Amino acid sequence: EAGVVQSPRYKIIEKKQPVAFWCNPISGHNTLYWYLQNLGQGPELLIRYENEEAVDDSQLPKDRFSAERLKGVDSTLKIQPAELGDSAVYLCASSQSPRETQYFGPGTRLLVL
Amino acid sequence: DAKTTQPTSMDCAEGRAANLPCNHSTISGNEYVYWYRQIHSQGPQYIIHGLKNNETNEMASLIITEDRKSSTLILPHATLRDTAVYYCIVTFSGNTPLVFGKGTRLSVIA
């Protein structure tokens, strides 16, 4: 069974540029999560989807971050414009339902210069 | 979610059992104990979870004390590839996100 797929794996951009990350969850997983991991820290939730609906986005900085999960499968996380402090690893995870185990993708490592 | 306390770092000789402790003294009755690990430059990897009973799978064993206030993750024969940060997480396994602490950095030494 294929795991959670994320792309790109690495991204280097200049500040004020836009950037987008893509996630394909495990087949059949209805719940999708985006986490942010700063250097030396554990992951922190940004947003959680149940199918197409964002059910927990309280930690998502809505002034520059946006996310979508059209058709309830793939998801895209966007930052516009990026700031130096956005340099981090962006992780996607999925689970069959909110009550089931979460499985993580490899992450996208973002460096903003 | 209940908070967990883990040692910052541990060393283990290759081939020996690695025993990683976790304290969760404020755990409530319907909260699960989950263990994940994160190898350098990879995403967190699910290891095992449990509620009350001890659990074992192909990766590890989880021992939960009778009062559920602490647990131990056991890697029976540690290899160099087990070097990682290990996170102990207590969660309702429901509508709450996983709350990661700083974890334990396990170094397996040849």
Q: Please list the rounded mean pLDDT of every run of 10 residues in chain B (110 residues).
A: 87 97 92 94 95 94 96 97 96 76 95
Alpha-carbon distance values, B103 to A34, A64, A80, A88, B9 (Å): 20, 30, 32, 18, 8
pLDDT of residue B93: 65
> What span, in angstroms and rounded, lies between the C-alpha atoms of A34 and A23?
9
pLDDT for position A48: 94
Give whole-number Cα distances, B33 to A50, A78, A100, B76, in Å: 23, 32, 13, 19
Is some CB atom of chain A closer than 8 A to the CB atom of B35? Answer: no
DSSP string for residues in A55-75: EE-TTS-TTTEEEE-GGGS-E
The pLDDT of residue B95: 56
* A42:B103 CB<8 A: yes
Looking at residue B1, its pLDDT comes to 56
Predicted pLDDT of residue A4 = 97
Per-residue model confidence (pLDDT) at position A35 = 97
Tell me whether A99 touches chain B (CB under 8 Å).
yes
Measure CB to CB from residue B44 to each of A99, A100, A104 and give the nearest one.
Answer: A104
Structure tokens at A107: 């992450």
Determine how many CB atoms are found less than 10 A away from the CB of residue A43.
Answer: 27
Instruction: Write out chain A residues lying below 8 Å of B102, CB-based.
Output: 40-42
HSE value, Cβ hemisphere, 13 Å, CA-based, for B81: 3
Q: Tell how strand B104-109 and strand B9-13 pair up.
A: parallel
Q: Find the closest chain A residue to B31 by CA distance.
A: A99
Which of A91, A99, A107 has the CB atom closest to B94's CB atom?
A99
Chain A neighbors of B101, CB-CB under 8 A = 42
Binned average pLDDT, 10 residues per bin, chain A of 113 residues: 92 97 96 95 94 91 94 95 97 91 96 98
Q: Do B100 and A104 touch (CB under 8 A)?
A: no
Token pair for residue B39? 């190898």
For A11, the token pair is 């991204």
HSE (side-chain half, CA atoms, 13 Å) at A21: 31
